[in-house]
A and B are shown apart, each in its own frame.
Chain A
């Protein structure tokens, strides 16, 4: 634990703290939160308090970010490993596909995928995916390109090192080298990549939900902000919007700090 940079430690503490807070306040004791909320009720939903909606949204946003971040990191890792193992023209084709996916903004592609997924679900062809699953799949289909590019570059760098050349000279096959020699060196980097996907996934989900395109229920922070921003035109409406914004910023701040610090010194983190 001492080897983890202070910024990363702060980011981790912030993330875990927010996760615990959302679990305790939003999921385990929502009644207590409803009765003791100092911010009062949401004017657009008189039956719910601002605290209930904000902490409930925090839990949903964090869950979407964690699952989508993990899935896109895993897809990126598999794609990069397959590309490096295959090499040659196949690797070049994969890299061009990565460039094509990477070129378009996440928000735009997720909106199109949400439209397609919702139409399939409405026609009974959604494969049992609810709004949460649909959002996670959309974010993962968009988000794998960045991790794939990062893993591929990292693998290419690691493969140039002497311990890999020695393993190959001793007869180690591609899969053996990947599993025994490269993966241990890649693990801390994988954690940094996952943490870098977390805020991106949360922000993309928030923006798409804010537009009203995703039907996240219970509401995420983005959907809550999207449905309650009309409160800003009333006096004191800031009490409805600002807590959700602050939670969103803290969540992304925690993940960004942890990811930046781990990316800067991945070896120390191991």
Chain B
């Protein structure tokens, strides 16, 4: 139990670390307004910078969160955000990520099967080239290619396309890992023994092989979830989706520093929630992790 709590604490500590680090990084910015030649921000933005970050006040780093929970607006009137808007935008991005996850799993399964088939033939080189091309293609490239056809259509088509382009690289990455793990497990003695005793190949796969592949899959889901959420930034920007990614990029471009602090911490919290979910699933499906902890 102690080990489980230690792992939980390691995950959770990321949130205050990111909150404090991002606050102090933003609070030290010299956003000058004094002279015309060096002016970086408008007087309204400079006023909101001091007000929202509580600069010079005791426990000033809690100020942006206080304002959010009171329902007040962070940042300027035109480009700032309230707590409700933040939650709405975040749920939009999470929705795109949730649409992308099954797509990534479908890509993964398809690619793992194809890779196993290619390995024995003249297409073996594709098993290495496809992941490299998928990795080398930033999310904004396929998004740019589909954008002219879908941006104005509505009916969730831009969201679906964002999920599709975001899922490409994580899906191929997952497929490579699962394919390798599957191949390793299939060559083990226990599989030969089970087949030799007359068990059907499907039953061997389901009862013996897949439970052993599951830990490798869970190890990969964390980075994949991060890639899906981070990839949605670019897809949202190109496809004009007004969600969290768009909010974050615009906050950085417009120097809405309080929004940057809050959005960065919120994003880190989301990643921690995903990690905790993965740990819970691992604890449930992998008896080895329970034994190791006991």
On whether the beta carbons of A103 and B14 are closer than 8 Å, the reply is: yes
Q: Among residues 216 to 249 in chain A, which have CB atoms less than 8 Å away from a CB atom of chain B?
A: 222, 225-226, 229, 232-233, 241, 245, 248-249
A63 sits at the interface (CB 8 A): no
Query: Chain B contacts of A253 at CB under 8 A?
Result: 129, 132-133, 136
B166 → A minimal CB distance (Å):
12
B121-148 vs A, Cβ < 8 Å mask (1 yes, 0 no): 0000000110111011111110011011
A96 sits at the interface (CB 8 A): yes
- CB-contact partner of B145 in A107, A114, A232, under 8 A: A232
A115 sits at the interface (CB 8 A): yes
Q: Which of A25-33, A68-76, A199-207 contacts B (4 or more CB under 8 A)?
A: A199-207
A100 sits at the interface (CB 8 A): yes
On whether the beta carbons of B264 and A210 are closer than 8 Å, the reply is: no
Knowing A119-B29, A203-B138, A248-B136, say if A104 contacts B271 (CB, 8 Å).
Answer: yes
Q: Which residue of B lies closest to A123 (CB)?
A: B30
A176-213 vs B, Cβ < 8 Å mask (1 yes, 0 no): 00000000000000000000000100010011001111
Q: Which residue of A lies closest to B131 (CB)?
A: A256
Specify the main secondary structure of chain B where it touches its partner. Answer: helix
Most chain B CB atoms below 10 A, which of A112, A122, A222: A112
Query: Chain A contacts of B25 at CB under 8 A?
Result: 112, 116
Specify the main secondary structure of chain A where it touches its partner. Answer: helix
On whether the beta carbons of A107 and B137 are closer than 8 Å, the reply is: no
| Interface residues on chain B, size class | 35 or more
| Complex A-B: 23 CB contacts under 8 Å | A100-B17, A103-B226, A104-B268, A105-B226, A108-B233, A108-B267, A112-B260, A114-B252, A116-B28, A119-B31, A120-B29, A123-B38, A123-B40, A199-B136, A207-B138, A207-B139, A211-B249, A225-B140, A232-B145, A245-B137, A248-B141, A249-B133, A256-B131
16 other A-B residue contacts (CB within 8 Å) besides A114-B252, A232-B148 = A99-B10, A104-B18, A105-B226, A111-B249, A203-B138, A206-B138, A207-B233, A210-B140, A210-B234, A211-B234, A213-B253, A232-B145, A232-B147, A233-B148, A245-B137, A253-B136
